[in-house]
Amino acid sequence: MFSPAEPYFDRLIRLLDLEAEAEKQEALLDMQRFSSTEAEASGTTLTNLVIRDEDTGFGGRILLTFGKRNQNVSLPWTRLGSGTPVLLSEDGTSGWRGIVTQLHKNEIQVAFETWPESESDQPIFRLDRSNDEISRKRQRQGLENARRASNSRFADLRDVLLGKCTPCFNPIKAITPFNSTLNASQWEAVRFAFSAEDIAIIHGPPGTGKTTTVVELIQQLIHSGQRVLAVAPSNLGVDNVLEKLIAAGEEPIRLGHPARVLPELRDHTLDLMVEEHDDGRLARKLRKEAYSLREKAEKYTRAKPLPGERREKRQEAKQMLAEARQIEDQLVSRILSSARVVCATLTGLDQTLMAEQHFDWCIVDESSQSTEAAAWAAIQFADRLVLAGDHFQLPPTVISPQAAAEGFNISLMEQLLTQVGPNISHRLSVQYRMHQNIMKFSSLEFYEDSLVSDPIVGKNLLKDLPDVTTNELTETPIHFIDTAGASYDESLEPDGDSRFNQQEAELVVKKVQALLDAGLLPTDIAIISPYSAQVRLLRELLSLPEIEIDSVDGFQGREKETVIVSMVRSNFDNEIGFLADVRRMNVALTRARRKLIVIGDSATIAVHPFYQRLISYFESVDAYHSIWEYAV
């Protein structure tokens, strides 16, 4: 457990190392535990791959395109998507690290810093999802910089965040909204954060327009002559802010590998800006000539080369590569220095790249999903900090049990709210996503019943959609189906630690079919389960790829017209496992706009007080149904 005698940042560095080791061991265990077929079915691996194409990218990156050895075979479903760190290997244990840049039906492209060299004439490869070693190094550097800081604004901000000094707020002059549609709660949050001298928190419950509020704050800051570093834990989180800034007419610059950025936003990435600049083209031309010259130096010829000729060619190629790098570095510095707002992931900030950059504000969206170690990787570059998020939704994902037990899964936002108190936070109160009955339980349970639905969405039902018929499913907003007493028993996944429920999954399929029969589009339906084995089973049972089926974590930040939640747990021991993390259930219950269907065994889950209250709420709004109502 945490020892007060252990220096603050030494503890975070130790926990960071524990987490990194746990990630590494988990990846190795998966490789060893699963056969190639099982590993591929899990979505974290692709096997029997050959190189289909070769290319080069910005900064000399090597782009390799892989496909199945049998060209007539498509790639299976996979979690390896653009931006995923991967390990390329021939045996599944050691190899070359890369980043997925593109994923298509039959091919996957990966960027490497060095060329994967195989001793085989016709190598067969596999790709495995990998831990991100660069991310860990950047977090560690941020923590070490925070520990060493002295006689600087960064040191002052650090002391405020550690509770050694009191946060200050200053009165602000009148400001005019850029977005005239902001509600009073959102506008007050902008003014509150703008007035912060050190730290402010914007607390955004589900559907309350947190990112819209963050974008308004960024606009107010940059148009008052200040520079902003806008960050989030995930690439999708960053892209949400980036997209809204662009739509608002701003010109942000996005740091990070273009493969990790949504395709429609890549024109705003630093990489592409450099690549399309005249100086960038010159650097690329120099690099190409250098490679050609080096190739000539190594090439065998009949005529004996003059003494020192090959060495001179190699030296000339080396100088050309150095010149290309210098041109690129100077161009990058000029482009970044001209930016009023820079967007990146928390761990996407390269120390060398950011060495000459300084920002007035660091704004962290989805901050409650970030470990504190990741937050410090960004805080070091700014004078003031705004954290936006919701600590009653998904916490940071931590694999190491020891690190979690010592608090590594507590975000900086949650810690500040606990230690400093609510006076540094403003909560948004109007939600724009869901029917008021879908919202109500979450509001009661987590937000002191402070949320209200905007009238535009508060009474929306499925039957109001075009071509949807009116029936029991479409004319009501919520529906709980209790499987208690029907022997819908859960099962443990063979050779795994996840659980599934066959009968419950089959019931989900029936409800999906009923929705489709009522006229609902497949793209309007999502299925969420807390258990990955149930997610895999449902994907096998449903052959409609347009229906999104994912874990709670995978659906964070998303929404659909209809969401079906499969709870899975049903056993005589009344064990509910990690359903006990009610923050995850808060996410699952607040993704639906017009219809929420929950399927579960009350005899099992109601041993927990949260689920007792949930079932009581369903009963209070006449949304509770027993499985026996559907018995034939």
How distant, in Å, are the alpha carbons of 286, 300, 301, 310 from that of 292?
10, 14, 15, 13
Please say whether the beta carbons of 68 and 48 come within 8 A.
Answer: yes
Residue 543, burial from CB neighbour count under 10 angstroms (0-12, 13-18, 19+): exposed
Rounded mean pLDDT of 597-618? 97
Per DSSP, 60 falls in state: G
Tokens of 288: 């190409």
Residue 284 confidence (pLDDT): 72
Rounded mean pLDDT of 408-423? 93
Rounded mean pLDDT of 173-180? 92
545-577: b (≥16 Cβ within 10 Å) or e: eebbbbbbeebbbeebbbbbbbbbbbeeeeebe
Residue 6 confidence (pLDDT): 74
Rounded mean pLDDT of 460-471? 96
Q: What SS3 class is residue 169?
A: strand
Average of per-residue pLDDT values in the chain: 89
Please say whether the beta carbons of 535 and 541 come within 8 A.
Answer: no
Per-residue model confidence as pLDDT tens digits over 424-451:
999 999 999 999 999 999 999 999 999 9
Query: Which pTM value belongs to this model?
Result: 0.86
- Distance (Å, whole) CA 81 – CA 107: 11
Instruction: State yes or no: pLDDT of 112 exceeds 50.
Output: yes
- Distance (Å, whole) CA 43 – CA 76: 8
pLDDT band at 32 (very low <50, low <70, confident <90, very high): low
How distant, in Å, are the alpha carbons of 123, 124, 255 from that of 119?
8, 11, 36
Q: Is the dihedral of CA 262, 265, 271, 275 positive or negative?
A: positive
Instruction: State yes or no: pLDDT of 148 exceeds 70.
Output: yes
Residue 398, burial from CB neighbour count under 10 angstroms (0-12, 13-18, 19+): buried
Please say whether the beta carbons of 91 and 2 come within 8 A.
Answer: no
User: Which of the residue ranges 238-242, 267-271, 469-473, 614-618 would you say has the lowest mean pLDDT?
Assistant: 267-271
Element (H, E) at 431: strand 430-431
Question: Looking at the DSSP assignment, which residues form a beta bridge with residue 426?
Answer: 202
Residue 607, burial from CB neighbour count under 10 angstroms (0-12, 13-18, 19+): middle
Share of the chain above pLDDT 90, in %: 63
Instruction: State yes or no: pLDDT of 95 exceeds 60.
Output: yes
Tokens of 343: 């967007």
Rounded mean pLDDT of 22-30? 76
Residue 72 confidence (pLDDT): 84
Per-residue model confidence as pLDDT tens digits over 277-312:
777 777 777 777 776 766 665 554 545 555 666 677
Rounded mean pLDDT of 594-608? 97
